[in-house]
């Protein structure tokens, strides 16, 4: 268990560094941005119907990576005495900034008119890898 936590912590640090260097901001209305926001909305608001979710308001916003976080939470799936009672949850925080005021030189991306979101690190990593693959495919064309 300790090795898993050490590897996860190391991965989070490397992941955070790669995210900051390679993704100053993502257009919120891009395929990748919409995918990420739909997952963040479910995490925060427990929305069940993605089809009913109106995301047209994000056209003039960009997604800016803020950092990785780990929290400890109660394990709701505990069944007997030997199960782990507390578990680590790895999260990524990102900011939705107005594109016209978004500044990649500013660590926060913007200073007003923004919203902060949190998603599971696995979801963010999936989005990151998908975006890298799409960029590589476009470069080859």
pLDDT tens-digit series, residues 57-110: 788 888 888 899 999 888 777 777 777 778 888 999 988 888 888 776 777 788
User: What pLDDT, on a 0 to 100 scale, did the predictor assign at position 68?
Assistant: 93
Q: Which is more confidently placed, 31 or 1?
A: 31
* 3 state SS of 122: helix
Among 5-9, 63-67, 82-86, 128-132, the minimum mean pLDDT is found in: 5-9
Interval 10-26: pLDDT, tens:
454 544 444 444 556 78
Q: Using CA atoms, how far apart are residues 23 and 94, in angstroms rounded to an integer? A: 11
Task: Give helix 31-45 / helix 121-140 axis angle, nearest 10°.
Answer: 170
**Do 91 and 66 touch, CB atoms closer than 8 A?**
no
Q: CA-to-CA distance for 43 and 116, rounded, in angstroms?
A: 13
Q: 1-7: long-range contacts (C-beta < 8 A, 24 or more apart)?
A: 1/84, 5/88
Mean pLDDT of 124-141: 86
pLDDT in the model for residue 122: 92
Classified as helix, coil or strand, 10 is: helix
Task: Give the pairing type, strands 61-74 and 86-98.
Answer: antiparallel
Nearest to 94 by CA among 8, 2, 32: 32
User: Looking at residues 28-56, what average pLDDT do you find?
Assistant: 66
Number of Cβ within 10 Å of residue 115's Cβ equals 11
φ, ψ (nearest 5 deg) of residue 53: -80, 120
């Amino acid at each position: 268990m300790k090795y898993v936590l050490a590897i996860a912590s190391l991965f989070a640090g490397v992941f955070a560094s790669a995210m900051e260097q390679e993704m100053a901001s993502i257009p919120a209305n891009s395929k990748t941005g919409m995918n990420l926001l739909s997952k963040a909305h479910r995490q925060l608001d427990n929305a069940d119907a993605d089809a009913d979710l109106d995301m047209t308001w994000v056209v003039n916003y960009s997604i800016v990576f803020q950092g990785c976080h780990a929290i400890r939470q109660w394990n709701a799936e505990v069944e007997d005495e030997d199960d782990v009672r507390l578990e680590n949850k790895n999260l990524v925080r990102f900011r939705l900034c107005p594109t016209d005021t978004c500044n990649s030189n500013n660590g926060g991306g913007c200073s007003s008119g923004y919203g902060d979101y949190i998603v599971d690190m696995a979801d963010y990593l999936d989005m990151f890898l998908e975006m890298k693959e799409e960029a590589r495919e476009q470069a080859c064309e």
